[in-house]
Amino acid sequence: MPLLKNGSIVADDWIILGTDDPKPESGDIVLPYARLLKEWESLADHDGRLGVVFTNIDRAEALSLFLPRLAVIILPFPSFTDGRAYSLARQIREVGYARELRAAGNVLPDQVQFMLQVGFDSFEIGERFSADVWLKASRRMSLAYQRGLYRPGGQQEVWSERHREAEPWLEQPHAG
Amino acid sequence: MTTATEKGKILTANRLQDGEVVFLTHSGQWSENIDGAVLATEPQAQAALEARGKEQERVNVVTGVYLFDAERRDGHVFATHIKERIRSLGPTVRIDLGKQAEGKGGHFAALQGV
Amino acid sequence: MYRYDEFDRQFVHDRVAQFRDQANRRLTGELTEDEFRPLRLMNGLYLQLHAYMLRIAVPYGSLDSKKLDTLAFIAEKWDRGYGHFTTRQNLQFNWIKLEDTADILAKLAEVEMHAIQTSGNCIRNVTTDQWAGAAADELADPRPVGELVRQWSSLHPEFSYLPRKFKIAVTGAPNDRAAVKVHDIGLRLHLNDKGERGWEVLVGGGLGRTPVIGVTVRDFLPEHELIAYLEAIMRVYNLYGRRDNKYKARIKILVHELGPEKFRAEVEAEYARRPHADTKVEERELQRISVYFAPPKFEKLPRWSPGFEEARARNKDFAQWVRTNVAAHRVDGYSIVNISLKPEGGIPGDATADQMRTVADLGLRYSFDEIRVSHHQNLVLPHVKRDDLFAIWKVLAASGLAAANLGLAGDIIACPGLDYCTLATARSIPIAQSISRRFADLNRQHEIGPLRINISGCINACGHHHVGHIGILGLDKKGEEYYQITLGGSSSETASIGTILGPGFAGEDVPDAIEKIVNTYLAHRQPGEEFLAAYRRLGPQPFKEALYAAA
C-alpha cells in the first residue's frame, strides 16, 4: 500500500501482520493491538522495529506501556466520517510519542490537512489520487484558530499570531 | 370516460448541478415535469428504473435518486403521497414558486392550505 | 459588532477557495456524492425537497446593515427574493444551485459572513440571547465568548467528524433567552462574590427524538479555562459517543447511558490529563474580542420621552405595538425593538429582500447599526431611542413588519416542514397560518397573554415544539398528515419538556383543538396567571378532558 509521507508517495517498508500471520525472525513488523498485548513478552528481543495497528475503541492510555518500543502506530479510519482517530492521535502525541503516526483506512485528500494537524505524519492512500492532489489538499487552509496543533505547510495559529507582540511565542507542548 | 387507476412507482432525483427536481422518463432521460415520468408498474420495471437512476448518479448527472409511489389516472401520472406531490409542484404555501408556477407541475391541481 | 482582522479575512477566503475546488471536483466526478456530502454540509449546503438549501451562519444572531443588505442581495440574485430565519438564529435560502454556491460564499466573505459548519457532524453556530448587550437583566454580554467559541470551533481538526451535530448556546442573563438547557453544551454566566465571571457548564440537553434537559457538569468554571474545558468535553464525546445508530449519536445519549456522574468523571479525568498550557493567549484573545462588543456611545437621555408618550397617546396601533414589541433597555431613554416576522396568516420567520433592506436601514439609522436574529424567528433592533420608536414603527407598518404580537399566540414558531424539507413527515407552515388566522384578533391575544406555540413538521423538532407552551408535532398516519399536541414546554431557565396530551388531530382540526386548550386555560386561570404557570399548576388533565371528552 503506497504511503504519503512528507509530501511524497513512498512504498511502505513495514511488514503488516494480521492476527494469524506467522511472525518473521527479523524485520520491521506491525501487529494488531490485541496480538501485541498477547505476545509482548516474546517481542522483547525481536530483531527489528515494532509497530501496532490500534483500534478505535481502545483507550490511548493503554498504549503507554508500549510507546517507548514502538516506531509506528497505525490508527484506523473505518469510514472517513468516523472521527475517533483524530482524538486518539492527539492523545498519543500529547503523551510524548514522537515517531511515526499513520492514518489507514478510508483516507481521502479532503481530510488530510486535519489529520496532519492532529499529528499524523503518514497516510495509507491507495492509487486513486496523484501526489499533487494530496499536497494541494494538505495546504488548503493557511490558518488555524486552534492552538497546540501541528501546522502543516507553515500553517499559522491565528490566536498565537495575534498576541505575538504582547507575549513572546508561547509554544504549546507537542505543537509541530 | 375515466380509466381505472394504475399504481406503480416513479423514479426521482435532483439534478447535481442546480438541484432541480427531475423524474426519469421512458427513454431514460430526465424530465423536470412529472408529466413526462414513466410509471413502472411491475417490480422488474421498477428495478430497471433504479438501475438507470444509479447509473446516472455514477456519471454525476443527478444525485439523491429514489423511487416513490405513484399512479396513472385519466392518462396522467400523479404522486400518491403528499411529500412527492409537493415535490412535483412546489411549496403549498407559496404557489407562486416552484414547478407549479413555471408550468412544470404536471396535472395535479395545486394543493392549498389545510 | 465583531470585525474581521486580516486573519479572519484570510480564513474565509481560503475556505471559499477550498469549497470552490471541492464543488468543481464533485461536478467532474472526481469526488463521489458520499465523499462530497459531509464537505458541502460543513459549508451549509443541503439537498432538500425542491432544490439545494443554503444555511448561512449568523454568529450569535448578530448582523449589521451591510450584512443584512448582502443577504437581501443574495436573495435576489441567487434565490427567489426571500429568506427564512431559523430557530438557531441562522438564515436559509431554499432555491440554491450547487454551481452558484462558491460565488455566494465569496459574496458573503466580502461582508465577513460565511456558511461554515451550519450543518454536518461538527460544532454548529453558537447561539445566544437576542437582547445581548441591551437587556436590563444582563450580567454581562455573552457575545465575546460566543465569538471566542466560534473561532475555536471553526475547522477544528479534532472535532470535524463527530458522531453527530453539536450545538452550543450561551447566555449572560439569569432570564435565559438562549435555551441553554436544551443544547448539547449550554453556558450560563455567573458572578461570584468577588464579581469574577464564571460559566455554569451544562451538557447533554437537546430536543429531537429524545428531548432532555442538560445536566450541570461545572457550577462555576473560571472564564479563562473555558476553551480547555470545552476541548475535554468534545474529546470525550468524539471518542465515546455512539456511532452505531444515527438516532442515538448525540451527546445527550452518552450522558444518559454513562449517567451524569460517570460522564462528568470522564470529562474531569480528560481535563486533568491534558497538558495544561498557559491560557494567557485565550485570555488576551477574549479581551481583544471584547473590545468589539463595547457598548455603543449611548446618549444621556431622560427615561421619559415626551415625543414617544405623545405618539403613544394619539395612535392606538402604535400603542398596541409598543405594548408587546418594545422591551426595556438597560440604559435610560433607550428601548429594544422586536420586529415580528409573524404577520397574520404569514409564513413564520420569512422575510423578503425588501423587508431585509428596510430593517437594515432602520438598524443603521436608529440602532447603532445593530440588528439581531432571535431563535423565535424574529428580528431585533437592540438599541433604539424611545424618541425614535414612532418613526421606526411607521416604517415597519408600511413594510408588513409591525405585527404587534411578540410572545403572544400569533408569534408562532414553525420549521419549514414538508413544504420544503425532505426530512418532514407533515406540513407545519399551513398549521401556523391557520392558527394565526384563528387568533388574529389582537385583543384576544392580549387577553390570553404570553403564549409560545411551536410547530415541528417531524420528530427532528427543528420547530422546538418540545419547549413550546403549546407544541405541535406533525406526523404521518397512513399517508395522512396528523398533529400531536404537547403542553407545558419551556426553554427558559426553568426549562421543561412538553407532555403529549393524547391522540393527534387532522390538520383542519388543529385550530379548534388550540382554541379548546386556550379556553380551558382562560376558564381555570387565577388572576394574572400566565398560560405556562397555569398549566404547571393544573397539569394536563383539564386540557385532556377539553380535547378528548365525548362531544
Domain annotation covers residue B109: no
The answer to whether A159 contacts C11, with C-beta atoms less than 8 Å apart, is no
Domain annotation covers residue B15: yes
Between A159-163, C13-17, C277-281, C403-407, the lowest mean confidence (pLDDT) is in: C277-281
Judging contact as 3 or more Cβ pairs under 8 Å, the answer for B and A is: no
**For C413-548, CATH number?**
3.30.413.10
Q: List CB contacts (< 8 A) between A87 and chain C.
A: 158, 235, 238-239
Residues 146 through 165 of chain C touching chain A, CB cutoff 8 Å:
151-152, 154-162
- The string of DSSP letters for chain A reads --EEETTEEE---SEE--SSSPPPSBS-EEEEHHHHHHHHHHHTT-BS-EEEE--SSS-GGGGTTTGGGEEEEEEEESSTT-THHHHHHHHHHHTT--SEEEEEES--HHHHHHHHHTT--EEE--SSS-HHHHHHHHTS-SEESSSS---GGG-EEHHHHHTTTTS---PPTT--
Domain annotation covers residue B113: no
Domain annotation covers residue B110: no
In this complex, is the C-beta atom of C420 within 8 Å of any C-beta atom belonging to chain B?
yes
Residue range of the domain that includes B92: 6-101
Domain annotation covers residue B87: yes
Predicted confidence band of residue B5 (pLDDT cuts 50, 70, 90): confident
| Neighbour tally for C344: CB within 10 Å | 15
Report the residue from C155, C161, C281 with minimal CB separation from A144. Answer: C155
Residues 115 through 154 of chain A touching chain C, CB cutoff 8 Å:
115, 117-118, 140-149
| Number of domains, chain B | 1
Q: How many angstroms away from the CA of C214 is the closest CA of chain A?
A: 24
Residues 328 through 367 of chain C touching chain B, CB cutoff 8 Å:
347
The pLDDT assigned to A174 comes to: 44
Q: Taking residues C40-63, what's their average pLDDT?
A: 98
In this complex, is the C-beta atom of C433 within 8 Å of any C-beta atom belonging to chain B?
yes
β-pairing, C326-328 vs C334-339, is antiparallel
| Neighbour tally for A96: CB within 10 Å | 12
Domain extents for chain C?
Answer: 6-110, 142-291, 306-398, 413-548
The answer to whether C49 contacts B63, with C-beta atoms less than 8 Å apart, is no
Instruction: With CA atoms as reference, report the closest residue to C53 among C24, C15, C12, C84.
Output: C84
The pLDDT assigned to B113 comes to: 44
Report pLDDT digits (tens) over C493-532. 999 999 999 999 999 999 999 999 999 999 999 999 999 9
Given a cut of 60, whether residue C134 has pLDDT beyond it is yes
Domain annotation covers residue B28: yes
Instruction: Confirm or reject CATH 3.90.480.20 for domain C306-398, answering yes or no.
Output: yes
What residue in C sits closest to B98 (Cα-Cα)? C50
Predicted confidence band of residue B29 (pLDDT cuts 50, 70, 90): very high
Report the residue from A94, A117, A159 with minimal CB separation from C274. Answer: A94
Structural domains of chain A, with CATH: 3-140 (3.20.20.70), 141-176 (no CATH)
**Long-range own/partner contacts, residues A63-72 (CB < 8 A, 24 or more apart):** A63/A92, A63/A97, A64/A95, A66/A36, A66/A40, A67/A92, A67/A95, A67/A96, A67/A97, A69/A43, A70/A97, A70/A99, A71/A28, A71/A99, A71/A100, A72/A14, A72/A30, A72/A99, A72/A100, A72/A101, A72/A102, A72/A122
Given a cut of 60, whether residue B112 has pLDDT beyond it is no
Given a cut of 80, whether residue C233 has pLDDT beyond it is yes
Report pLDDT digits (tens) over B30-88. 999 999 999 999 999 999 999 999 999 999 999 999 999 999 998 899 999 999 999 99
Domain annotation covers residue B11: yes
Report pLDDT digits (tens) over C168-187. 999 999 999 999 999 999 99
**Helices and strands (H, E) in chain C, number of each type:** 18, 21
A118: burial class by Cβ within 10 Å (0-12, 13-18, 19+)?
buried
CATH class of C142-291: alpha beta
**What number is the ipTM of this complex?**
0.95
The answer to whether B113 contacts C95, with C-beta atoms less than 8 Å apart, is no
The pLDDT assigned to C549 comes to: 87
The pLDDT assigned to A3 comes to: 96
Residue C472 CA, distance from chain mean position: 18
Domain C142-291 identical in fold to domain C413-548:
yes
Interface probe, candidates A145, A157, A160, A171, chain C, greatest C C-beta count within 10 A:
A145
Q: List CB contacts (< 8 A) between C119 and chain A.
A: none
Report pLDDT digits (tens) over C397-429. 999 999 999 999 999 999 999 999 999 999 999
Classify domain C6-110 at the CATH topology level: Sulfite Reductase Hemoprotein; domain 2 (3.90.480)
The answer to whether C50 contacts B63, with C-beta atoms less than 8 Å apart, is no
Neighbours of chain A (3+ CB pairs under 8 A): C
